[in-house]
Amino acid sequence: MQITGTMLIGHDDVAGTEPAFRAVDPATGGTLEPAYGGGGQAHVDAAARLAHDAFASYRAGTPARRAAFLREIGARIMGLGDVLIERAMRETGLPRARLEGERGRTVRQLELFAEVVEAGDWHGVRIDHAQPGRAPLPRADIRMRHVPVGPVAVFGASNFPLAFSVAGGDTASALAAGAPVVVKGHPAHPGTSELVGRAIRAAVQAQGLHEGVFSLLFGADHGIGLALASHPRIKAVGFTGSRSGGLALMRAAAARPEPIPVYAEMSSINPVYLLPGALKARARAVAEGFAASLLGSAGQLCTCPGLLVGLDGPDLDAFIDAAAGRIREGAPGTMLTPSIHRAYTEGVQRLSERPGVAVRARGPAPQAPNQCRAALLEARARAFIDDPEGLGQEVFGSCALILRCADEAEMLRVARSVEGQLTATLHLEPGPDDALVRALMPVLELSAGRILANGFPTGVEVCHAMVHGGPFPATSDPRGTSVGTAAILRFLRPVAYQDIPDAFLPEPLQAANPWGVPRAERR
């Protein structure tokens, strides 16, 4: 498989006509060939129209066919071999083991959605059988199922070049729902994106699907993304990235003549509550786990623990000492791009200059370009409560702020003053911490998509019960998850069929239930 520097619009390789860009190797600062010409409005038009053309036949396909397609994408990604891993390493600075693991996760995610397609719960079938004898009026036969909303625009994330990018969770769940996908590849890893895009296209061709089921566009600036989210043929958006990027897409989608849903996963500082019983029992062990979670992938994870909240005292001191020690000696990781490194450096600087914030530990001085110098800051909880916006802003990378609370009431006040989050974590000791856990749980349920006990939020399991979502501004829409099988529900809507003769009903609603989908029936 060759990297050519083109976009993939249906079956065609198309060279962009807007200003070109190249990937940068963050480990050296050098640029990588080839150049990628940016796409313009004509390319967005072409891809969106093809997706629309493909929609009718793609959504009508059998579950077996759609599942085979998802599995073939996975097989063809594996078939790219080491070329993919090596390109991704150069484009992201991420180590081989991390990328091989991420590739496995990406392929398993496709397999899981293939199983979801086959299992069929996502059809959401409900059947109210007719009651011809009901008085005063007979009841009609009414059947509900889900249909896909239409073509979906997916924006690849910088920090998961495989699992949240071209063939990542948004793409897999949209394709599983029966929606064609137009991906806007992240400019930080265009070669990786192109390789994966070619694997998807080969699967489209091998499975004999309409070419419009998948396209891949590139662009160095935000213009092409906004054009894509604004295109009348696009019916939903999946995005993982910055708050400013997500907000811009939300505005564009709301301003359309026909507004569409936007699922933007934006920012989160993932508060970790260190309850006194847990710190008394194992301050050092919790600190080890925290430091590993903070330093992994240079902290460039949506669920990186960026805020710790404990009760002032010797146990919290012991925790901070242990964590600070780990952070001072942690090997600096290369960050994904020069701009992410710059934003990180500036973010740490800005946060450490807020009133009441002190720097408690920094990682070793960088020895190479774009390395992340981890930061552990601390402040009184009062400072956060007085300035939740200033102290609660995400610094993307290994940066965490520890808050010292005067008492449990102050810990609760912190919990109530944090914005919407992807996760909230409790380190707790059953028994001594019971009352505080019971007070915190209802607060955390309303401000986070996932609540953990005695673990760390990084390492998001791809499973049926996962929620990688949460109240604004963690995401644009708290009703969705972008990880796990429930992600498919974002791209579906219900349709009811009243007294439609069996021959004209879609398969999931027919009397014979030829696809064997689960159905809730009432007579």
By CB under 8 A, the residues from 411 to 430 that bind a copy of itself are 420, 426, 428, 430
What are the phi and psi torsion angles at 93 (to 5°)? Answer: 75, 0
Q: Which of residues 292, 331, 368, 465 is near a copy of itself by CB under 8 A?
A: 465
Q: How far apart are CA 90 and CA 29, in angstroms?
A: 10
Q: Which is nearer to a copy of itself, 4 or 513 (CB)?
A: 513
The distance of closest approach from Cβ of residue 241 to a copy of itself in the complex, given in angstroms and rounded to an integer, is: 17
Would you count residue 516 as binding a copy of itself (CB under 8 A)?
no
The owner of tokens 């942690």 is 330
Name the segment binding a copy of itself (CB under 8 A); options: 71-79, 168-176, 311-319, 478-486. 478-486
Instruction: CB nearer to a copy of itself: give 60 or 64.
Output: 60
Should residue 147 be labelled a site residue for a copy of itself when binding is judged by CB under 8 A? yes
Residues involved in catalysis = 265, 302
Tokens of residue 366, six digits: 């960088």
3 state SS for 302-350: CCCCCEEEEECCHHHHHHHHHHHHHHHHCCCCECCCHHHHHHHHHHHHH
25 torsion bin: left (phi>0), alpha (psi -120 to 50), beta (else): beta
Contact flag: residue 285 with a copy of itself (CB under 8 A): no
Using CB under 8 A, pick the residue from 3, 149, 324, 411 that binds a copy of itself. Answer: 149
The span of 3-11, 299-307, 321-329, 493-501 binding a copy of itself (CB under 8 A) equals 493-501
Binding letters toward a copy of itself, positions 88-127, x by CB under 8 A: ---------------------------------x----xx
Peptide bond into 432 cis (omega under 30): no
Helix, strand, coil % (nearest 5) of the chain? 45, 20, 35
Q: Which residue, 286, 253, 225, is CA-closest to 425?
A: 286
Residues 237 to 266: which contact a copy of itself by CB under 8 A? 250-251, 254, 258-259, 261
SS3 label, residue 442: helix
- 438 part of the interface to a copy of itself, by CB under 8 A: yes
The region of 69-77, 78-86, 151-159, 454-462 touching a copy of itself under the rule CB under 8 A is 454-462
Q: Are 319 and 288 in contact (CB under 8 A)?
A: no
Q: Can you tell me which of 79, 386, 445, 516 binds a copy of itself, judged by CB under 8 A?
A: 445
Please give the Cα distance from 24 to 26 (Å, whole number): 6
372, two tokens: 């992340």
What are φ and ψ of residue 354, in 5° steps? -70, 150
User: What is the three-class DSSP state of 272?
Assistant: strand
**How many other C-beta atoms lie within 10 A of the C-beta of residue 342?**
12
* Total residue length of the chain: 523
> What is the smallest separation between the CB atom of 81 and a copy of itself, expressed in angstroms?
22
Q: Cβ 149 to a copy of itself, closest distance in Å?
A: 7
Q: Which is nearer to a copy of itself, 325 or 473 (CB)?
A: 473
- Residue placing its CB nearer to a copy of itself in the complex, 9 or 424: 424
Shortest separation between residue 264's beta carbon and a copy of itself, angstroms: 11
Binder among 15, 472, 513, 515 for a copy of itself (CB under 8 A):
472
Contacts of 389 (CB under 8 A, 6+ apart): none
Give the nearer residue to a copy of itself in terms of CB position, either 82 or 434.
434
Structure token pair of residue 66? 């759609």
As given in the structure block, the two tokens for residue 249 are: 């897409």
Q: Which stretch binds a copy of itself (CB under 8 A): 86-94, 213-221, 401-409, 472-480?
A: 472-480
Which residue from 12, 86, 100, 128 is in contact with a copy of itself, where contact means CB under 8 A?
128
- Please report where in the chains the tokens 């990688």 appear, as a residue: 468
List 366, 388, 390, 473, residue binding a copy of itself (CB under 8 A): 473
Stretch that binds a copy of itself, among 38-46, 292-300, 344-352, 466-474 (CB under 8 A): 466-474
